[in-house]
Structure 1
Amino acid sequence: MNRINAANQALFEELVKQIQIQGNAAGIAVAIVDEEGKTQYEQYFGYRDTEQKLPMDENTIFGLASVTKSFVALSIMQLAEKGLLDLNDPVSRYIPEFTNKNQETVRIHHFLSHSGGFYPVHRTVVKEIAEKLGISEETEGDLGYSVKLAEAGAKAVAEQLDAQTPGHGLIGRPGEYMSYCNDGYGLLSEIVRRVGGEASFADYVKKNILDPLGMERSGCDYLRPRLDENSAVLYKKENGVMTGCKDYYDNAFVLGGAGSMKSTISDMKKILYMYLNHGKTAAGGRILSMEGIRSMCRPRMEYRPESWYCFGLATKKIDDVTVVEHGGSLTGVSSNMSWSYDAGCGVIVLCNTSDVPVSAIADAAMRMYHGRNPLEDRGLYQENPWSEKTRKAAVGCYLSSEDSEVEIRENGDGVLAVVEGREKNLVMVQENLGIIRGYAKDAYLKLFKDENGGVFAIGFGGRMLPRK
């Protein structure tokens, strides 16, 4: 039931405007839809093109980035229900390029829950592999549909994962730890391509998800959004200056399942309707069984404090309401999709600027709809200093091959974190947990210890970073 009142709406919209200012966000689109598919709130802040002052509307195309992973998981679950694969099957059965030679068997469900046992590796992007192959849009058309690129990309990604060995890239046994793995989802989308009967992952998603839902302006294309008049310019900060372009290939993963989807507010309302109705479409069809949707939403691995990763989705509590969600971040993309069966609504937030904390907006919208103060009470975690032993064990530099670097330094009786060269105040709250306070959302830093109490890795941004 929609319990939005004027006071809470004013607080919510002020929060969005503050995030827009602090994050230098060009445009932010927000919508709330109920389980009947009716729009309960929709608002647009800023522009799809700031130079020309072009407004956004429900049909403006935005990038979704890692919200794509929910489409991958949905596709895999469809194939499982058709009997074309089993979630317990080894990944190598479908991707023989992935030999899985240095660890126990990695199964499909491990990649679905980011628990394959791999630290983050070098990001293999479209432009890198296309250049090596000597292909381009001029020779292949839209590279989101290129079989050559998919095959070469799968080989490159598989080789990187296979190169990891215990103590040198592998975190632990499959299923032991959760560490966000874009490459795992890339290989899952390649399984969809090879098993699903279509020429590309993009074709499979279009035929089996987008078309049945009537999501006509969505897809894994790169060329279409660049040429579409009503698509968002992608903004990012370079050398302290905000720049914009329509290069949807920028930093794009070579395998589409990691983050290639683009969509609109109008189209995303349709997939939220489907999830809120456990797999049914507004036209009376079905994308997945109720059991399949429930399986996707079942907690599998601890993700962040108070949050669990499922299959292509995560679940958490907002106050007393259980929420299912996924966010995304790429060049010129900050996105979040969430819904709650408890609240009876879904929220979509799309933004055309990098590194904007839109999940804070999504959470606030969920609270607002449920008649609560939309502003988060960030008093759950109080300062609680680590022991001297833990503090000294944590000090050091942690680096992943995905170019994420965090250094923990002692600072008197406290600690600070240096994230990508910037000093951040690290508040110690539990013996193995610290918080970096953000202007709209907190970041969590978790310590992973070995049997001797040494810190061998930290958890940050959903990823495990090994000690350098």
Structure 2
Amino acid sequence: MTLEPETSESRLSDRLDVLAAEHGLPGSAVAARRNGHEVFAAGTGARDVDGALPVTPDTGFGVASVTKFLTAVLILQARDRGLLELTDPVSRFYPDLNCARDAEMRLYHLLSHSAGLPGLPFRHLATPSSDAEGPGKMRTPGDLVAGMNATRIEMLGAPGAYVSYSNEGFCLLGGIVEMLGDCSFAEVADRWVLRPLGMHRSFFCAGVTEDRTDLAMPLHRGASGLQACGFWDAPLFFPAGGLVASVRDMARLISVLEGDTQVLGAKAARDMISWSLPVASRQGSGARYGLGLEVSALENGHVLGWHTGQRPGISSFVCHVVNGNVSVAFAANIADAPSAAIGGEVLAELLAPESRDRSQPPLAGRSASAGTDAVCGRYGSREMGVLKVARAGDRLMVDLPSGRHELAFETPYSGIVAGQTFCFLREGAPASARQTATALALDLRILPRLGGEGSLRQ
């Protein structure tokens, strides 16, 4: 792979400032590595609600779902230590979990979000570490298993049939890490990954205390301006989204995909990429989800492994060009920042033009065409709530948590909405213009039609 010589740090710094201003980011930071060495790191804006404390590349940010990559690395390490196999049934570790009792659901299904689990509500119910023990608390994987067993779960399909994002699946994986390490998930992560990689600015949300400095406070915009919304301190969901890290540490973490460290060997790195399934919302793009990361093809035959994270007050992105040994990390202390687009701009500065990502979805589509009334209806899950798709004049609109948005179709069944890819499905395949859709694939999630005809199951 050809790399541009001596990429201008000042150009990247100036561009970060411009992007932060364009998107209204209170504070953000970027770091990039090449061949195991840092080649760029910068921060811009403020890390506090008053705008007084500057962001640096060492500032700690909540990284939300980027944590899933760390969890996947821990499971691959456990495999390489002889403690488990990726093909082990989930029932080996959770014999009482009703939806896994037939032993068809395997660990690699949880890692690739292909276990068949629908969107579940438990991230909304997780108990903070500060809450006392007692009935109704949801703090441990055992509590999660009990909650899942008490919930009527209609699986999306057989394990391995579809990719559909499941935070709960990674909570179960975190519980397995705790069983094998005989201590908390955070302690195993620190011992197996954070310390060996020199990630000294990384810890889990329960460690956010007054004596920790240089943290980017998660912020949101309220009626009176920016307001602090705090870190997500729910130990059950630490494996799904509880890491706090600097962008320098995030870049160190994703760079293990090169497979040349004691933390992650060559075979484990290959497995994280190759054990992958197509993403239903990105038909024809080649986009896939592997073991704890998304996978995209580059035009010169290289592969990009990447992940994003979103929580209230948090946006993050990491990526690594496999066999090109280039890594980028980005973080901001506000939700809904275009983190993948910003990180992608930095990556584009480091890569020659012929190496750009060819599977990135377009930013805009064309208006909906005739026949789209067949997709009108209500879609949803216990996690995401109800999303209503309806016609408004000659446009097709969907009500998302962020507001009402137009569906911009690139094909008769798929396109872009609010920066996310979508595809209407019928029995698991793209719905034609005249078919009534049975599900909406939105980014990495599949949302069944509510009260409609048909089924996802094949």
Q: If the length of structure 2 is used for normalisation, what is the TM-score?
A: 0.85
- 1:226 Cα offset (Å): 5.2
> Is it true that 1:244 corresponds to 2:244 in the alignment?
no
- 1:75 Cα offset (Å): 0.8
Question: Cα gap change, 1:466/1:26 in structure 2, threshold over 3 Å: closer, same or farther?
Answer: same
- 1:295 Cα offset (Å): 0.3
Is residue 102–residue 164 contact of structure 1 (8 Å, CA) maintained in 2? no
| Correspondence for 1:292 | 268
Is residue 92–residue 100 contact of structure 1 (8 Å, CA) maintained in 2? no
| Correspondence for 2:294 | 314
| Correspondence for 2:4 | 3
- 1:127 Cα offset (Å): 2.9
| Correspondence for 2:25 | 25
> What SS does the aligned partner of 2:127 have?
helix
What CA RMSD, in Å, does the superposition of the two structures yield over aligned residues?
A: 3.2
Deviation by residue 1:199-234 (Cα, 9 ceiling, x = unmatched) = 111111111111211212212242345541211111
What pairs up with 1:373-392 in 2 under 5 angstroms? 383=366, 385-388=368-371, 391-392=372-373
Q: If the length of structure 1 is used for normalisation, what is the TM-score?
A: 0.83
Among 253, 261, 268, the alignment partner of 1:271 is 253
Unmatched 5+ residue regions in structure 2? 451-458
> Is it true that 1:210 corresponds to 2:197 in the alignment?
no
**Is the deviation greater in 15-24 or in 88-97?**
15-24
Is residue 384–residue 430 contact of structure 1 (8 Å, CA) maintained in 2? no
Is residue 90–residue 103 contact of structure 2 (8 Å, CA) maintained in 1? no
Question: Cα gap change, 1:379/1:329 in structure 2, threshold over 3 Å: closer, same or farther?
Answer: closer
Question: Cα gap change, 1:421/1:72 in structure 2, threshold over 3 Å: closer, same or farther?
Answer: closer
> Is it true that 1:193 corresponds to 2:194 in the alignment?
no
Question: Cα gap change, 1:421/1:212 in structure 2, threshold over 3 Å: closer, same or farther?
Answer: closer
Aligned partner letter, 1:456: T
Give aligned pairs, total: 436
**Is the deviation greater in 88-97 or in 184-193?**
88-97
> Is it true that 1:51 corresponds to 2:28 in the alignment?
no
Question: Cα gap change, 1:408/1:48 in structure 2, threshold over 3 Å: closer, same or farther?
Answer: same
* Alpha-carbon separation, structure 2, partners of 1:429 and 1:369: 30
Among 302, 313, 316, the alignment partner of 1:335 is 316
Is residue 365–residue 415 contact of structure 2 (8 Å, CA) maintained in 1? no
| Correspondence for 1:234 | 218
Aligned partner letter, 1:3: E
Aligned partner letter, 1:173: A
Is residue 103–residue 173 contact of structure 1 (8 Å, CA) maintained in 2? no
Deviation by residue 1:244-277 (Cα, 9 ceiling, x = unmatched) = 25x3236x4623211111111332343244333x
Deviation by residue 1:70-112 (Cα, 9 ceiling, x = unmatched) = 1111111111112211111111211234232687621111100
| Correspondence for 2:421 | 444
- 1:358 Cα offset (Å): 0.8
Is residue 73–residue 311 contact of structure 1 (8 Å, CA) maintained in 2? yes
Aligned partner letter, 1:215: M
Is residue 115–residue 159 contact of structure 2 (8 Å, CA) maintained in 1? yes
Aligned partner letter, 1:204: V
* Alpha-carbon separation, structure 1, partners of 2:142 and 2:78: 23
| Correspondence for 1:402 | 383
Is residue 383–residue 429 contact of structure 1 (8 Å, CA) maintained in 2? yes
Among 192, 200, 203, the alignment partner of 1:219 is 203
| Correspondence for 1:139 | none
Aligned partner letter, 2:201: R
Aligned partner letter, 2:4: R
> What SS does the aligned partner of 1:297 have?
helix
